[in-house]
Structure 1
Amino acid sequence: MPEQEILDRLAELIREQTEFTGAITADTAFRRDLDMDSLSTVELISATERVFDVLIPYEELDDFGSVGELAGYVAKLRTG
């Protein structure tokens, strides 16, 4: 699955979990732009794991500052 498709699906997941209605791009920051707290981030990671059938170690959560960083990580796991 191309990274852009992953990014688009992550945007859908984010909209399902938050009230954010603006554009979600690779540069969209979880905390700054989406105002996601730790719990919201964990919920998003859990949903991401289910949708993409990947395992993301929770100690790596702080490595994802933007939607694009998470999409890239998921892409790497899927091709891994």
Structure 2
Amino acid sequence: MPVPEELRTLALTPRHLSLLTHLLLDGPMSVNELAAGIEVAPTTVSLMIGELSHKGILDRRESDTDRRRKIVSISLADG
């Protein structure tokens, strides 16, 4: 499956796309849940989330039940 036109200029790797697919299909989740889903270390997922957040693709927020836990979601902001 080709990378969507909107994402081609963002220089995303297959692992970035895997992370985005998990969030798209399963909704917002924690770093640890994402790491388990794409089978990489949480530190690697944190780095990828940082990269995608700087590009405006992802949002991070504190969990309502545990402020130490970060919930990651796809950004709904345009452009």
Please report the TM-score for the alignment, with normalisation by the length of structure 1: 0.39
Q: Whose radius of gyration is greater, 1 or 2?
A: 2
Greater per-residue helix proportion:
1
Q: Greater relative contact order: 1 or 2 (C-alpha under 8 angstroms, separation 6 or more)?
A: 1
